[in-house]
């Protein structure tokens, strides 16, 4: 249920009536006083009732879910967005529905853009940095496996030859996966990004060579 406007003899009475309609307590709503009311002459003539607008507060997770759902609806995609996990500044969402190929996009381009745009919009609305993570039918896990396997193969070759090697161009999300993987699994190696735009790639190199 959305906002409820309610009148009463006093502001407090109007608020209580609105809370009863919404089934909420005061901590769960935002209250806007439209009219504080007037007692009128002798408390009777010309009296005006107080009026308030009471709106249920929405969690950051629900705001993120609604935002992504709205974007997908405008793309005319039949989907259902649900909250997978909600922390203070990070919200994980799961998309289910038809035509997952269009939602995910080539190498995750569409779902990465959806994730980026929703994070920007929600951060502006919340006046603080909010990270929205979007997945669809386990795509992120499958993609992570593919990327880390590729990074593992390159890392082993770098260890053997002692020479740096560049991975194919990839998205920012995939590059982040590679950097974290190399840092955690290969203490003798390091990685950095080079190139511009769609041609940006990760280079894996021995730490001695990097220094």
Q: How far apart are CA 132 and CA 120, in angstroms?
A: 9
pLDDT of residue 46: 52
pLDDT of residue 36: 83
pLDDT digits (tens, 9 = 90+) for 49-97: 889 999 988 888 999 999 999 999 999 999 999 999 998 889 999 999 9
The CATH superfamily label for domain 142-210 reads R3H-like domain (3.30.1370.50)
Going by pLDDT thresholds of 50, 70 and 90, the confidence category of residue 126 is: confident
The pLDDT of 36-61, averaged and rounded, is 76
Where along the chain do the CATH 3.30.300.20 domains lie? 60-137
The pLDDT of 129-134, averaged and rounded, is 94
Task: Report which of residues 49 and 188 the model is more confident about.
Answer: 188
The CATH superfamily label for domain 60-137 reads K homology (KH) domain (3.30.300.20)
Going by pLDDT thresholds of 50, 70 and 90, the confidence category of residue 125 is: confident
Q: How far apart are CA 105 and CA 113, in angstroms?
A: 10
Q: How far apart are CA 5 and CA 31, in angstroms?
A: 10
pLDDT digits (tens, 9 = 90+) for 97-123: 988 899 999 888 899 999 999 999 999
Cross-sheet strand order for the sheet of 29-35: 4-8, 50-56, 29-35
Distance, CA of 46 to chain centre: 51
pLDDT of residue 209: 62
Q: How far apart are CA 12 and CA 10, in angstroms?
A: 5
Q: How far apart are CA 152 and CA 107, in angstroms?
A: 19
User: Looking at the DSSP assignment, which residues form a beta bridge with residue 190?
Assistant: 205
Where along the chain do the CATH 3.30.1370.50 domains lie? 142-210
């Amino acid at each position: 249920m959305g906002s409820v406007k309610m009148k009463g003899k006093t502001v407090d009475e109007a608020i209580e009536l609105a809370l009863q309609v919404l089934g909420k307590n005061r901590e769960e709503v935002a209250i806007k006083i439209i009219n504080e009311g007037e007692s009128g002459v002798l408390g009777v003539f010309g009296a005006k009732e107080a009026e308030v607008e009471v709106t249920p507060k929405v969690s950051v997770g629900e705001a993120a879910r609604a935002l992504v759902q709205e974007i997908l609806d405008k793309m005319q995609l039949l989907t259902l967005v649900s909250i997978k996990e909600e922390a203070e500044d990070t919200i994980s969402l799961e998309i289910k529905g038809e035509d997952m190929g269009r939602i995910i996009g080539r190498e995750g381009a569409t779902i990465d853009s959806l994730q980026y745009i929703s994070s920007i919009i929600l951060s502006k609305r919340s006046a603080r940095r909010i990270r929205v993570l979007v997945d669809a039918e386990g795509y992120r896990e499958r993609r992570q496996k593919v990327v880390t396997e590729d990074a593992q193969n390159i890392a082993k070759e770098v260890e053997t030859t002692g020479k740096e090697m560049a991975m194919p161009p990839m998205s920012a999300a995939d590059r982040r996966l590679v950097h974290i993987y190399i840092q955690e699994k290969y203490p003798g190696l390091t990685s950095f990004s080079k190139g511009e735009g769609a041609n940006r790639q990760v280079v894996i190199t021995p730490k001695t060579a990097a220094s």
